[in-house]
Amino acid sequence: MVRVLFLCTGNSARSQIAEGLLRKLGGDRVEAFSAGTKPRDAVHPLAVKVMADNGIDISAQRPKDVEPFVGQKFDFVITVCDRAKESCPVMPGAEMIHWSFEDPAEAPEDKREIAFREVLIGLRRRIELFLTVTLATRKAQ
């Protein structure tokens, strides 16, 4: 099983969406986690909404600090924002990947839901490709 940790700053939107997508798309082939370098108090309501609109329930997920994950074994640590990449702790043995996504919560209010949907679409594309390549590579080994 492939273990993946998604990191962003607040762990309230991008990394939560990525965690939910990987769980859904990867099924029993992966373990997905997310955390933040400065976690917020709650998952952003629009992250929950756009995921629910796509048949994925992340309403029970909560922001978590990255510190408890340091020292755990992960195959991949994927940062989904530039600030998290800069402050990401060293995770020995994990392959580090960076996907840069703008924070949809910082979009103008009248465009915010669209920004969340665009992040979801971008993350879905990357995760589908990630799964295709990663699982094919693991199968070949």
Q: Which residues pair with 97 in a beta bridge?
A: 78
Q: pTM score, two decimals?
A: 0.94
In the chain, the number of structural domains is: 1
The answer to whether residue 140 sits within a structural domain is no
pLDDT single digits (tens) 12-27 = 999 999 999 999 999 9
Catalytic choice (2, 25, 56, 88)? 88
Note down the domain range covering 47. 2-131
pLDDT single digits (tens) 82-116 = 776 676 677 889 999 999 999 999 999 999 999 99
Catalytic choice (17, 18, 81, 123)? 81
What does the alpha-carbon distance between residue 26 and residue 23 come to, in Å, rounded to a whole number?
5
* Closest to 130 measured CA to CA, from 89, 90, 77: 77
Catalytic choice (4, 5, 7, 8)? 8
How much of the chain is in helix, strand and coil states, percent to nearest 5? 50, 15, 35
Active site residue 81: yes
The answer to whether residue 33 sits within a structural domain is yes
Contact of 19 with 11, CB cutoff 8 Å:
no
